[in-house]
Structure 1
């Protein structure tokens, strides 16, 4: 088949690709360049990206994996994939320790859906898969293979309205969640060793610091890509309070921390404990540039100086935050929408109610007393 040269030929190609959708893994991602070429203002633009995608598609079609028919009563497995523009899933079955594809699904994301957090995109991929493959989900138990805490998020008491609608829709199916691989948790000392910059990098950092003269300043947007980013969340209910922290290193590595609070705490106090936990972790990891994100309007505005603290305990917490922030020449504290903080919220829920089916190792610590009541040890030797 020759490369398309006209709009009509491109339309014909996309039509054929749509027909083969069930036989193509991540078909939307494979064909997204063809659809972009048909957009208004981009007609007749069969560029190099389109040609590469076309050749890759032809190569894939020359050796496609054969679809397998599931046996009644056996468990099926679903693997998920998300990108900036599409979500995909592959329903598979196992036979004699070999995996065989049953069906592929793929969906191009709408403009609003492209801004969903990655965890919500993964859950949306499950929802789309159940809608397109409903007979399979009704006749079989399906095991979702993922390293993300999707079940914990779906069963979180603080789930958003959109998530609650998906929970109701998925409740009719027999779904289990299992991790793809077991990931060993690392102690904080190992993280320090892994992410501590070399002497040469440290020298460059010091040179940049001297040239910028940015001591005690807030970070500009252009600096954020060089900063360690901490997303924190705390919540409290009648049983206990909990804290979740998600750390993103400058190279994109994700680190997680969940903490249960062994003392009564209000929601605002739990949010402050989350903020202090993030700052303390950053300090122990020897970071000098810090960006903290929280969905609490009160805490972020008090910490940034926009609001005043009036309650005695809030004043103590604010003083503690300001004291610890003195160790960071450059920092920023920003409020983010709750949907963008869903992962930290899920970790906070994990701190109080661990899912026995969720076997990925995440450090879960216990905080015995409020941070504002920490006992200071005085060396008398």
Structure 2
């Protein structure tokens, strides 16, 4: 299947085509190729990508038999926000979670919601030692008290 935003299928399958297009159409005709229009990428796809490729994108965690690692990320959408959480056990087992926020939120609010929900889940899972990773340096600095917070909505999270 060829996914494209161009009318490639119409051009190749056009019987009025001439020249090189006809040669290509004859060669491709027997291969069973179908053409589909390109659609919009949903935020869920981006969150799934983040969960699937976290291991290759993030620096490796310190290997310790007692520590779990939690990766979190918030995502802003038109109708609310979502967050992705990945827990990696000391034995390397990965648990992936997606949570949808059903209220208007900024990117930073989504990041904080992801962190707080991740910590609650870690408590429910009985995790005692947790290494937490995120791609938002602002959130990390505010949580570690290395940066001040001036937004009244974010102060509550800090």
TM-score band, normalised by shorter chain: 0.5 to 0.7
Which runs of 4 or more aligned residues in structure 1 lie more than 6 Å from their structure 2 counterparts after TM superposition? 151-154
Partner of 1:271: 111
Greater gyration radius:
1
Q: How does 1:30-69 map to 2 (within 5 A)?
A: none
User: SS state of the match for residue 109, structure 2?
Assistant: helix
Partner of 1:253: 93
* Distance (Å, rounded) in 2 between the aligned partners of 1:235 and 1:222: 27
User: Quick one: which of 140, 146, 152 aligns to 1:306?
Assistant: 146
Is the contact made by 1:271 and 1:299 (CA closer than 8 Å) also made in structure 2? Answer: yes
Partner of 2:131: 291
User: Could you list the per-position Cα deviations for residues 252-299 of structure 1 after superposition, in whole angstroms to 9, with x for gaps in the alignment?
Assistant: 111111111111100000000011111111111111101111111111
Q: TM-score, normalised by structure 2?
A: 0.61
* Distance (Å, rounded) in 1 between the aligned partners of 2:122 and 2:45: 30
User: SS state of the match for residue 139, structure 1?
Assistant: coil
Instruction: From the superposition, tell whether residues 314 and 238 of structure 1 become closer, same or farther in structure 2 (CA, over 3 Å).
Output: same
User: SS state of the match for residue 250, structure 1?
Assistant: coil
Unaligned segments of structure 2, at least 5 residues:
2-26, 35-40, 50-60
Is the contact made by 1:278 and 1:292 (CA closer than 8 Å) also made in structure 2? Answer: no
User: SS state of the match for residue 96, structure 2?
Assistant: strand
Q: State the Cα RMSD in Å.
A: 3.2
1 or 2 for the larger relative contact order (CA 8 Å, sep ≥6)? 2
* Distance (Å, rounded) in 2 between the aligned partners of 1:244 and 1:154: 9
Partner of 2:56: none
Partner of 2:68: 228
Partner of 1:139: 31
**Post-superposition shift, 1:224?**
4.6
Q: TM-score, normalised by structure 1?
A: 0.27
* Distance (Å, rounded) in 2 between the aligned partners of 1:140 and 1:273: 47
More helix by share: 1
Q: How does 1:325-340 map to 2 (within 5 A)?
A: none
**Post-superposition shift, 1:226?**
3.0
User: Could you list the per-position Cα deviations for residues 102-147 of structure 1 after superposition, in whole angstroms to 9, with x for gaps in the alignment?
Assistant: xxxxxxxxxxxxxxxxxxxxxxxxxxxxxxxxx99x93469xxxxx
Partner of 2:102: 262
Unaligned segments of structure 1, at least 5 residues:
1-74, 76-134, 143-150, 160-220, 319-381
Is the contact made by 1:224 and 1:291 (CA closer than 8 Å) also made in structure 2? Answer: no
Is the contact made by 2:43 and 2:75 (CA closer than 8 Å) also made in structure 1? Answer: no
User: SS state of the match for residue 114, structure 2?
Assistant: helix
* Distance (Å, rounded) in 2 between the aligned partners of 1:267 and 1:226: 32
Is the contact made by 2:68 and 2:131 (CA closer than 8 Å) also made in structure 1? Answer: yes
